[in-house]
Structure 1
Amino acid sequence: MSAPSRVHVDSVRAIAATIGAPPVDADAARALASDCEYRLRQVFQDAMKCMRASKRTTLSAEDVNAALRLRNCEPLYGFGAGTSDYEYKQTREDPDVFYVEDREIDMRELLTRKLPRPPIEVNLVPHWLAVEGVQPMIPENPMVPAAEPVAIEPPRGMKRPRPRAMGAKENGGDPDAGGLLPVVSHTLSRELQFYFDKVTALIRQAGRADASDREVELLSTALRSLSADVGLHNLMPYFTQFITEETTQNLRDLPRLRVLIQMIRALISNPDINVELYLHQLMPSVVTCVVAKRLCQNLDEDHWSLRDDAAYTMAFICGKFGDAYPSIRPRITRTLLRALLDTKPMTTHYGAIRGLHALGPKVVRETVMPNLRSYLNTLEPLL
């Protein structure tokens, strides 16, 4: 004779009544109780296995749910970890039947309770992820640790400006007075360094008399890049120093000077570069290509077209920045007029006349025409 089941027959009949099943006789209730105990043992044995696999010694509701999922059964709801313990009470009619007493809610307490915070409304907020390759420092973007800047040396021949000593007087002070000199290093990204090296190398290659068609084509591409690309402002001091050095060292290299004038005009045409800070360094190179005594190795070379190109570049600079800097046009005019009236070579006279003509008819009328007789007297011995 088999041992009695741990599941009571009355519990089976009570459960059957709650789900609306027809009345269950005694034999069927005993068979169902025995089968229910068998199923429960299977579930709890599997739950014990899940508990041991989790390296725990206390059986939890999650272990029972895991065992039910292994047997393709629906897990329990409302009995997860962290829930409050339920107090089971016996019924008065049958001491073997237990139930969970519902907690009474006081409506006055419910009405006077502080309302919870309303949920945040779902919305869409746009923001800039990156601007010209730089991530804005805003809360929406993740904070990326900044990489240490790589200090580079200035271009060959470029002198570092001597910083003023801290504590020295502005007017009449001794620059060598005691104090600490702030250390300032100009840093460039690797992309800008690579761009500077490529452009300067191409300017040197295309500025030769025997430059190939491929180099000339690449030069046109580089000039378009200099005149339109953004983010080149940090390279302006290096480009300016490069133009100054190349003009000084290659004063009789006509192809190189042509390319440098084209480079200056491309940089001036770029609307995203603040060229005003470097005009005082670029203008001497342009004026040199206008009024220099000799700009080529052989006198048979066409240096006249270079003077014309430099004169129109000078006029373009005056037209673009003349309103912001009213003194730039009078200073250039005085320089050209002095070169015209002094005893200079004819090549210098030609460049001065072309420069004054490029500045406009008003400049010619106010400078050349009043001095025309004295200039003819200077020119007569040479004719």
Structure 2
Amino acid sequence: PSSTGAMSEREERRFVEIPRESVRLMAESTGLELSDEVAALLAEDVCYRLREATQNSSQFMKHTKRRKLTVEDFNRALRWSSVEAVCGYGSQEALPLRPAREGELYFPEDREVNLVELALATNIPKGCAETAVRVHVSYLDGKGNLAPQGSVPSAVSSLTDDLLKYYQQVTRAVLGDDPQLMKVALQDLQTNSKIAALLPYFVYVVSGVKSVSHDLEQLHRLLQVARSLVRNPHLCLGPYVRSLVGSVLYCVLEPLAASINPLNDHWTLRDGAALLLSHIFWTHGDLVSGLYQQILLSLQKVLADPVRPLCSHYGAVVGLHALGWKAVERVLYPHLSTYWTNLQAVLDDYSVSNAQVKADGHKVYGAILVAVERLLKMKAQAAEPSAGGPGGRGFRRSEDLPWDSLLLQESPSGGGAEPSFGSGLPLPPGGAGPEDPFPSVTLADIYRELYAFFGDSLAIRFGTGQPAPTAPRPPGEKKEPAAAPDSVRKMPQLTASAVVSGPSPASRYVQKLPMIGRTGRPARRWALSDYSLYLPL
């Protein structure tokens, strides 16, 4: 009798089936029309997958030793089958249903929700995030990790004792009074491959330039720390590039408290910060999108602000010069006609009270002169057919360009010299700066406008160099008589020879580059015969 009862119970077992009409209605609600055969196949597949999910969810219920199936059990079964979980049905209360007046149709009650109470509620619903793998180290080097799983370590506890001791010793050496110890610490910062965990701490130290603007020595040391971090090939500066650029720009542009005293040489600090800014951009600029445009915009705002002191204008000029001649052409050259009026008013004031301001104006004048000189020479080099490439817009090595290394600066390690103002940096073809649709001005127009500002101060910065080789004259040809000298002195015409002469061992035209804001350091000498420019006077 027991066996017959079990058989009858098994025969009476029924499964829930979804009719094809329901599948067709669901498809029509989304704008699809299904045939009877397709609706029947989809209904059969839906019933099979629904039974599979129900069976798997009952297994989860049994494993937790419960007799009531919950929504979480069903969602676990769906995740087990790589199906998105169902949201909005995790409430412990029963869903109230209301009947419709037309027929035997029930629908869930649509209650009004108070968003303020919902936002301030403590029972935040769990989100259906994707499955992730977490690693929790219980034992490391024989020591137990007592921190609870998922806890966020504090800033101090995340550093080991060795790293913390290293950080304290390096900061004490850099900001201390022993120059030899500071040199060793900076050299180790530049080569150490195990200080990645200390990178945010050293970046925070560099950001302290704003609090020591009255101490030039401390500012120099903090810039050397930033330079060592940038040169370390084992560090990834991706998320910290903006912070470093902000600290360096502060030293370049801001009117420091130390600049009030004319005896303080803050010009050297601005030169070094401009070189470091250029180095950061050319080595790590690809890690931050739009960094080049942001730097140019910052320099342009300072240069266009007449309220800013001349030392800030000087920093903007040397910053543009360090970024390359394309930055000078794009920002400084279009704004020069507007800026020249204010600068000329300062230079023409011979009063005693204006002596210091006039000296600062001469610094700005010299910085602009050096920047536009490099602009002219690089434009002339880019226009030569022999430079290579279509249209003569090829690229030569930096060692072939004598004007590309304007000043030399000793590295903190004491070995070798560092080319400054953008020299030795990986420049893209055609100049120094990313390619942009900025309209280029011809060389003749630029020289004509700049000569109106600088006059012979610009002309004398170009030597005649070696004469270009001329074709041999056939025998018997008469020599043309020389033209009569013009009694009226004309503006020098800047023309570049078609042939770039090689370096000459005995050149008569050797000139020393100007010392802009630098004291006690010799400038690099270069021979103008490496690049022939003819200025007929």
Question: TM-score scaled by structure 1?
Answer: 0.50
Please identify the structure whose Cα radius of gyration is greater.
Answer: 1
1:217-253 residue CA offsets vs partner (Å, 9 max, x unmatched): 11111111001101111101111112223x1221110
For the residues of structure 2 that align with 1:352 and 1:147, how far apart are their CA atoms? 55
Q: Does 1:194 align with 2:175?
A: no
8 A Cα contact 2:190 2:232, kept in partner: yes
Query: Which residue of 2 is the match for residue 145 of structure 1?
Result: 142
Match of 1:312 among 271, 275, 298: 275
Shift, 1:271, TM fit: 1.0
Query: Which residue of 2 is the match for residue 366 of structure 1?
Result: 330
Query: Which residue of 2 is the match for residue 248 of structure 1?
Result: 210
Shift, 1:377, TM fit: 2.2
Query: Which residue of 2 is the match for residue 106 of structure 1?
Result: none
* TM-aligned CA distance change 1:291 to 1:143, over 3 Å: closer
Q: Does 1:302 align with 2:265?
A: yes
SS of match in other structure, 1:285: helix
* TM-aligned CA distance change 1:285 to 1:144, over 3 Å: closer
Shift, 1:147, TM fit: 4.8
| Gapped regions of structure 2 (runs ≥ 5) | 1-138, 348-537
| Cα RMSD for the two superposed structures | 2.3
Between the aligned residues of both structures, percent identity stands at: 32
Q: What code does the residue aligned with 2:224 have?
A: Q
Query: Which residue of 2 is the match for residue 322 of structure 1?
Result: 285
Q: What code does the residue aligned with 2:245 have?
A: M
For the residues of structure 2 that align with 1:313 and 1:282, how far apart are their CA atoms? 10
* TM-aligned CA distance change 1:143 to 1:341, over 3 Å: closer
Q: What code does the residue aligned with 1:341 have?
A: A
For the residues of structure 2 that align with 1:149 and 1:269, how far apart are their CA atoms? 38
8 A Cα contact 2:248 2:276, kept in partner: yes
Query: Which residue of 2 is the match for residue 381 of structure 1?
Result: 345
8 A Cα contact 2:174 2:186, kept in partner: no
8 A Cα contact 2:253 2:313, kept in partner: yes
For the residues of structure 2 that align with 1:195 and 1:274, how far apart are their CA atoms? 19
* TM-aligned CA distance change 1:366 to 1:263, over 3 Å: same
Q: What code does the residue aligned with 1:277 have?
A: P
For the residues of structure 1 that align with 2:287 and 2:247, how far apart are their CA atoms? 21
Q: What code does the residue aligned with 2:168 have?
A: D
Query: Which residue of 2 is the match for residue 76 of structure 1?
Result: none
8 A Cα contact 1:254 1:295, kept in partner: no
For the residues of structure 1 that align with 2:229 and 2:216, how far apart are their CA atoms? 20
For the residues of structure 1 that align with 2:312 and 2:251, how far apart are their CA atoms? 10
Query: Which residue of 1 is the match for residue 223 of structure 2?
Result: 261
8 A Cα contact 1:224 1:266, kept in partner: yes
Query: Which residue of 2 is the match for residue 69 of structure 1?
Result: none
Query: Which residue of 2 is the match for residue 356 of structure 1?
Result: 320
Q: What code does the residue aligned with 1:379 have?
A: L
1:97-147 residue CA offsets vs partner (Å, 9 max, x unmatched): xxxxxxxxxxxxxxxxxxxxxxxxxxxxxxxxxxxxxxxxxxxxx984245
Shift, 1:284, TM fit: 1.5
Query: Which residue of 2 is the match for residue 116 of structure 1?
Result: none
8 A Cα contact 2:252 2:270, kept in partner: yes
For the residues of structure 2 that align with 1:149 and 1:311, how far apart are their CA atoms? 48
Shift, 1:326, TM fit: 4.1
Shift, 1:183, TM fit: 4.2
Q: What code does the residue aligned with 2:331 have?
A: T
Q: Does 1:185 align with 2:118?
A: no
Greater Cα shift, 295-304 or 314-323? 295-304
SS of match in other structure, 2:263: coil
Query: Which residue of 2 is the match for residue 229 of structure 1?
Result: 192
1:289-335 residue CA offsets vs partner (Å, 9 max, x unmatched): 00111252622111111100000000000001223334111111110
For the residues of structure 1 that align with 2:279 and 2:198, how far apart are their CA atoms? 22
Query: Which residue of 1 is the match for residue 492 of structure 2?
Result: none
For the residues of structure 1 that align with 2:174 and 2:202, how far apart are their CA atoms? 11
* TM-aligned CA distance change 1:143 to 1:192, over 3 Å: closer
For the residues of structure 1 that align with 2:292 and 2:146, how far apart are their CA atoms? 41
SS of match in other structure, 1:322: helix
1:18-45 residue CA offsets vs partner (Å, 9 max, x unmatched): xxxxxxxxxxxxxxxxxxxxxxxxxxxx
8 A Cα contact 1:228 1:270, kept in partner: yes
For the residues of structure 2 that align with 1:322 and 1:199, how far apart are their CA atoms? 27
Match of 2:174 among 203, 209, 214: 203
For the residues of structure 2 that align with 1:234 and 1:305, how far apart are their CA atoms? 32
Query: Which residue of 1 is the match for residue 234 of structure 2?
Result: 272
Q: What code does the residue aligned with 2:166 have?
A: Y
Q: Report how many aligned residue pairs link the two structures.
A: 204
Task: Between the two structures, name the one with larger relative contact order (CA 8 Å, sep ≥ 6).
Answer: 2
Match of 1:340 among 303, 310, 313: 303
For the residues of structure 1 that align with 2:140 and 2:312, how far apart are their CA atoms? 60
